Structures are given as structure tokens and as C-alpha cells.
């Protein structure tokens, strides 16, 4: 049975990171519906566009991924959020999970890791 296509939003202030993740997701058959380079853009794009999964960078200028996560959690049901970071601390990971994030991917991205979190999303979505 075919699963409905997953739509994703990528939020990262580094162009190369966004592009690499976009290419990996495309290869995995994910529709990258939106791309944001900072926290406020994430919030704005989510007002006009529903996505299944958000890949949310922790370290962004102005508003961190954790701040965005807090805001999303306060505004009702939240999409499935995967935090991404080049330097993750146990504190960051714990805070993100406490705020409702479903997973954590440490950069540099690997195809295997991205595939793994998407498979987990699929299994939870169909449960």
C-alpha cells in the first residue's frame, strides 16, 4: 500500500545545509513544501501551509529552534518536529524532546539517519 507523500518544511539558516537536506528528502520521495532560514519564517510559513514534518535547526539567528518549538507547542497541535544541530548537547536534546520534538539529527546529515526518522514518522502516522 502506498503511503501518502510526506510533506516537509526545512528550517536552517545555512544555505548549504538546507540544500543538502532538500536533496536527500527529494531522493527519499518527500515533498519539500517550504524552506525557512529563521524562526519567524517558520511560523509564517506554517500559517499558510500544512506540513507533516519539520526539520528544525536549533541554532538560528534571532529565534532559536527551541524558541520556535515553544511557540508551535503553544499554538495547538504540532507537526512532527525533528531537531537538527551541528553541536547538540544533552541539554538541547532533552529540552527539545520535553517541548514536543520527536527526534534529533546531528549534522552532518546522513541519508541513513534521515531515512530512519522518516520511517519512524510513517510508522507512528499509520499506527
Residue in 36, 98, 91, 48 with CA at minimum distance from that of residue 69: 98
Give this prediction's pTM.
Answer: 0.93
Residue in 72, 73, 46, 68 with CA at minimum distance from that of residue 56: 68
Strands (E), 21-125: 31-36, 53-57, 80-85, 103-106
- The reported pLDDT for the residue numbered 1 is 33
> For 7-44+58-126, which CATH class?
alpha beta
| pLDDT (tens digit per residue) in 22-72 | 999 999 999 999 999 999 999 999 999 989 999 999 999 889 999 999 999
Write down the domain spans for the chain: 7-44+58-126
Amino acid at each position: 500500500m502506498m503511503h501518502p507523500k510526506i510533506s516537509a518544511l526545512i528550517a536552517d539558516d545555512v544555505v548549504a545545509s538546507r540544500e543538502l537536506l532538500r536533496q536527500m528528502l527529494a531522493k527519499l520521495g518527500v515533498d519539500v513544501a517550504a524552506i525557512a532560514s529563521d524562526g519567524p519564517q517558520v511560523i509564517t510559513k506554517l500559517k499558510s501551509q500544512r506540513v507533516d514534518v519539520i526539520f528544525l535547526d536549533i541554532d538560528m539567528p534571532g529565534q532559536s529552534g527551541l524558541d520556535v518549538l515553544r511557540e508551535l507547542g503553544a499554538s495547538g497541535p504540532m507537526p512532527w518536529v525533528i531537531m537538527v544541530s551541528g553541536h547538540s548537547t544533552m541539554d538541547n536534546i532533552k529540552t527539545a524532546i520535553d517541548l514536543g520534538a520527536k527526534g534529533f539529527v546531528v549534522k552532518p546529515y546522513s541519508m541513513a539517519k534521515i531515512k530512519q526518522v522518516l520511517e519512524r514518522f510513517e510508522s507512528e502516522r499509520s499506527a
